[in-house]
Amino acid sequence: MRPKLTLKQIARELDVSISTVSKALKDSPEIGEETKQKIKAFAKLYNYKPNNIALSLKNRKTKTIGIIIPEIVHYFFTTVISGVEQVANEKGYNVIVCLSNNSFDREVLNLDLLANGSTDGFILSLAKETMQKEDYHHLTEVINQGMPVVLFDRVVDEVHCDKVIIDDIIGAKKAVEHLIETGCKKIGIISTVDYVSVGKLRTRGYIEALEENNYPVDEDLILKIEDMGNSEKEIGEFLKTRDVDGLFAVNEQFAVSAIGALRRQGRNVPEDVSVIGFTDGELSKSFIPSLTTVSQHGNRMGAEAAHLLIDKLERKPDEVESYKTVIVETSLVRRESTKN
Amino acid sequence: MRPKLTLKQIARELDVSISTVSKALKDSPEIGEETKQKIKAFAKLYNYKPNNIALSLKNRKTKTIGIIIPEIVHYFFTTVISGVEQVANEKGYNVIVCLSNNSFDREVLNLDLLANGSTDGFILSLAKETMQKEDYHHLTEVINQGMPVVLFDRVVDEVHCDKVIIDDIIGAKKAVEHLIETGCKKIGIISTVDYVSVGKLRTRGYIEALEENNYPVDEDLILKIEDMGNSEKEIGEFLKTRDVDGLFAVNEQFAVSAIGALRRQGRNVPEDVSVIGFTDGELSKSFIPSLTTVSQHGNRMGAEAAHLLIDKLERKPDEVESYKTVIVETSLVRRESTKN
DNA sequence: TTCAGGTCCGAAAACGTTTGCGTGTTGAAA
DNA sequence: TTTCAACACGCAAACGTTTTCGGACCTGAA
C-alpha cells in the first residue's frame, strides 16, 4: 500500500523546495528547463495528482455542485440528475447528490452540511413538507452567504434565485387539445389535490383548453386523488360511472391505473377511451398500449439548471445580480393510447 | 451578503486567540467557564459552523463516500443509491454520485477525480465497457493507495475488495422452478450476451434448474440479445417460431417486450405462456398483466455495500485486512404473468 | 522572599496547495 | 576588478482547522 504522493515528498526526493515543484508542474518560466523536466518526469512516473481538498481550501471553491431532491427512485428526478451531471462534467464540476425524502428536516440538514464548504452552489427541488410548512429560511440563509441556488420543478416565489420550471398549464392544454383534435367529446381528468402545485396547474390547463374550445367544464369529470396509495381503487370507481371518451391523467401512474380499470370494465383504449399521461417515463414507453404523454424533458431541465448555476459561479464579481427563471417547453409524445 | 464566519473572525471580534475559540467550542477544560460561555454565545448567535474542507484537510478524511454507477436512469441503480444514502446518512457520511455512462474512460476519469481527496472510499458497479476491456488497473491502483472499494452487482474476480452481489444463479433457478411448478413444459429464456456477467449467470441458473428437474436443455430456446436497441424485434422473431409455454427474461424490459410480441401473435399471458422477469421495478408492478419477477432488493444491496465500506473506513488500523463478499438473497414476487 | 502547583490562555505546527517576493549565483558589460 | 541584470530557486504566508506544548499569572505554603 503506497499512500498518495504530495508535493512535499517529491520535493524531498528530488532535493528541491516545494514551491519549485509546484511551479515546475505548472510550467512556470521561473524554473529552469532542466529542473522542470526532471520534476515533471518524476511526477508522471509516480502519477502525481494534486489533492483536491487542499486546492479547495486554497481557492475557496470546490468545483462541486450539490443537488438535493425529494426522492431518487423516480424517473423524472433521475433524468434531471442525468442532465445536471452531463453539463457539470463538461465544465469540470462534480455532483453530490442528497435526498430529502420529502422531509423538511432532512432538507435543512443536508443543506447545512453541504453549505459549509462542501459545495459551491445548489440545485434543488423542494420537499413536499417544506412546501406545506412554507418555511424557506434555510434557503434564504444559504443564498445570503453568497451561494448560488437554482430551484427546479417544485419552486416557490418566496425564494429569490434562478429557477427552472416547465409550463404545466400549457403542457396540460396541449394534452387536452390533442384529445379534442382526435375527436374526443367528453373529457375527464385525473389529478391530485390542489396543494400539490402541479396538480393545480395541470387542472387549470385542462379547464382552459376546454373553455377555449367551447367544451363545457363538468366538475363531475374532475377526479382529485387524495391518497396515492389508494389511487387504483378511487380511479376504478370514478370511471365506473363516467362515460368519458377521453381522459387526461396528470402522471404516468394514474394513466396506467385508469387503463387497467377501463379494461376491466370492458372498455378499450384507445377505441372507446383515449388516455393521455404526463411525464414521459419507462412506463409510458413499455406499457401496452404505449402511452401518449406530455414529456417534461427532465434532462433538459437538469442541463438548464446546471448552466444557470455554473454561470453564476463563474461570473465576474462585478456583474450585477439578476435572477432568471427559464421555462422548458413540454412536448406531446404521440403513442398508442390515443387515436391518431 | 454576509460571508461565512471563521474561527479567526470570532477570535478577533472577542479579542482572544484562535486556539481559545476552538477549544471553547469543543468545551475543553483548558478554558475558563466565563470565556467559554462568551465564545459559545457568540458562535451560536452568528451561527458558526466549522468549514468542512478545512476539517477534511486536517483529518485527512472527508466523511463522504463516492458511488459510481453505469447509469442513473435505471430503477435498480436508484434503489441501490437510496440504500447507500440511507445508511451513509445515519453514519454521518455524504454521498457523491458519479455516472460512468458505461464508458471505461469516464469511469477512470471519475475515479481519478474523486480519489484525490474528495472521498474516503468507493462503491461502484462496473461499466459495461470496463468489463469488456477487462482493464481494472484504475481500481487496483485506488485500492493500493489505501482507499476501500466495494463493488456491487457487476463485480469481477480480478479486483480484490469487498463485494455485494445477488446470487444470480439461484435467483434464476427460483424463477425457472416456479415456471416448472406451475406446469410449464417448454421453457425458453431471453438473456443477454455472455460478457455481461448477469446474462451468463442467469442463463446458467436456467440450465441448472432444467437439468435438476430432468427437463431437456434446448439451445434453440435460448435467445441472447446483442443489441439492446433492437431487442424488441429480435424477441418478436424468436418467439414467432418457438412454441414455448414458459419464458424467463433476465430483465424487466425483455419480459415486457416478450409479452407484447406474444400478444401480437395471439398468445395470451399467462394462459398460453407464463412469463417471468428479473428486477422488480415500476414496470413489473404496473404492467398489465403485472409481472411475476425475481426481486434483486437494490435497497438492501446498497445498504450492505455502505456498511461494508464504512466498516473498512472506521476499522482500527491494526485490524487485519480481509475481504468479504455478501450475497443478498433474491426473492420471487408472484403476480399475474405466471399461472398460480 | 521563594517556589511548587494550578489555572487560563496563546504560539506554532500540521494538513497540501499556490504565489509574491527575496536571495544567491552566474555571466557579461563597464 | 567591479557592477548589475538575468536567471533559478527558496521562503513564507495564506486558506480554516485542531492540538501539543509551553508561558504567564496567581495562590498559598515553606
Cell numbers placing B142? 485506488
Per-residue pLDDT averaged across B307-330, rounded?
88
What pLDDT digit, counting tens, does each position of B68-122 carry?
A: 999 999 999 999 999 999 999 999 999 989 999 999 999 999 999 999 999 999 9
What's this model's pTM, rounded to 2 decimal places? 0.92
Binning pLDDT at 50, 70 and 90, where does residue A3 land? confident
Per-residue pLDDT averaged across B179-203, rounded?
91
B52, B82, B256: residue with CB nearest A118: B52
Minimum distance, in Å, between the CA of residue B215 and any CA atom of chain A: 32
Binning pLDDT at 50, 70 and 90, where does residue A193 land? confident
Q: How confident is the model at residue B316, as a pLDDT?
A: 67
CA to C1' distance (Å), from B50 to C16: 19
CA to C1' distance (Å), from A59 to C18: 9
Q: How confident is the model at residue B64, as a pLDDT?
A: 94
CA to C1' distance (Å), from B271 to C1: 109
Nearest in space to B149 (alpha carbons), one of B298, B300, B315, B308: B308
Nearest in space to B100 (alpha carbons), one of B90, B108, B91: B108
Strand, helix or coil for residue B123? strand
Hey, are the CB atoms on B286 and A253 less than 8 Å from each other? yes
Residue B318: is its pLDDT beyond 80? Answer: no
Residue A340: is its pLDDT beyond 90? Answer: no
Window 34-53 of B, Cβ < 8 Å to A: 47, 49-53
Mean pLDDT of chain B: 93
What pLDDT digit, counting tens, does each position of B232-258 carry?
A: 899 999 999 999 999 999 999 999 999
What pLDDT digit, counting tens, does each position of B161-181 carry?
A: 999 999 999 999 999 999 999
Q: Which residues pair with A69 in a beta bridge?
A: A99
Enumerate residues near strand D (beta carbon within 7 A).
A 15-20, 29-36, 54, 57-58, 60; B 4-8, 18-19, 22-23, 25-26, 30, 48, 50-51, 54-55, 57-58
Torsion sign over Cα A330, A336, A337, A339: positive
Which nucleotide has its C1' atom closest to residue B4's CA? D16
Per-residue pLDDT averaged across A214-243, rounded?
93
Strand, helix or coil for residue A64? strand
Q: Report if CB A52 to strand C is under 7 Å.
A: no
Binning pLDDT at 50, 70 and 90, where does residue A318 land? low
Place of cell 367528453: A186
Q: How confident is the model at residue B321, as a pLDDT?
A: 80
Closest residue, chain A, to B321 (C-alpha): A1
Compute the distance between CA of residue A55 and CA of residue B116 in angstroms, rounded to an integer.
10
Residue A316: is its pLDDT beyond 80? Answer: no
Per-residue pLDDT averaged across A18-44, rounded?
94
A160-174, A307-321, B58-72 — which is least confidently predicted? A307-321
Q: How confident is the model at residue B2, as a pLDDT?
A: 78
**Under 8 Å CB-to-CB from B21, ≥6 apart: which residues?**
B7, B10, B11, B14, B39, B43
Whether A214 and chain B come into contact, CB under 8 Å, resolves to: no
Residue B320: is its pLDDT beyond 80? Answer: no
Residues from chain A that touch B51, judged by Cβ atoms under 8 A, are 116-117
Per-residue pLDDT averaged across A312-330, rounded?
86
Whether B54 and chain A come into contact, CB under 8 Å, resolves to: yes
Binning pLDDT at 50, 70 and 90, where does residue A5 land? very high
CA to C1' distance (Å), from B48 to D7: 48
Per-residue pLDDT averaged across A84-105, rounded?
94
Look at chain A and count its residues.
340
Q: Which residues pair with B152 in a beta bridge?
A: B164
Cell numbers placing A273? 377511451
Q: In chain A, pLDDT over 70 holds for what percent of residues?
A: 99
What pLDDT digit, counting tens, does each position of B289-317 carry?
A: 999 999 999 999 999 999 999 999 998 66
Residues from chain B that touch A54, judged by Cβ atoms under 8 A, are 57, 117
Q: Which residues pair with B222 in a beta bridge?
A: B189
Chain A 7-36 residues whose Cβ is under 7 Å from strand C: 7-8, 18-19, 22-23, 25-26, 30
Hey, are the CB atoms on A95 and B95 less than 8 Å from each other? no
Compute the distance between CA of residue A182 and CA of residue A191 in angstroms, rounded to an integer.
22
Residues from chain A that touch B79, judged by Cβ atoms under 8 A, are 73
Which nucleotide has its C1' atom closest to residue B53's CA? D16
Per-residue pLDDT averaged across A306-332, rounded?
89
Residues A274/A83, Cβ–Cβ less than 8 Å: no
What pLDDT digit, counting tens, does each position of A135-151 carry?
A: 999 999 999 999 999 99
A111-120, A194-203, B18-27, B77-86 — which is least confidently predicted? A194-203
Mean pLDDT of chain A: 93
Cα distance between the two ends of chain B: 66
> Which positions of chain C lie under 7 Å from any protein Cβ?
7-12, 14-22
Q: How confident is the model at residue B171, as a pLDDT?
A: 96
Strand, helix or coil for residue B227? coil
Residue A84: is its pLDDT beyond 80? Answer: yes
Per-residue pLDDT averaged across B121-136, rounded?
94
User: Which of A286, A293, A296, A320 has the most B C-beta neighbours within 10 Å, making it the best mutation to test the interface with B?
Assistant: A286
Window 220-239 of A, Cβ < 8 Å to B: none
Q: How confident is the model at residue B193, as a pLDDT?
A: 85
Nearest in space to B148 (alpha carbons), one of B333, B339, B335, B307: B307
Residue A320: is its pLDDT beyond 90? Answer: no
Give rounded-to-5 percent helix, strand, coil for chain B.
45, 15, 35
Hey, are the CB atoms on A62 and B53 less than 8 Å from each other? yes
Closest residue, chain B, to A258 (C-alpha): B286
Distance of CA B5 to the CA centre of its chain: 38
Cell numbers placing B297? 432488493
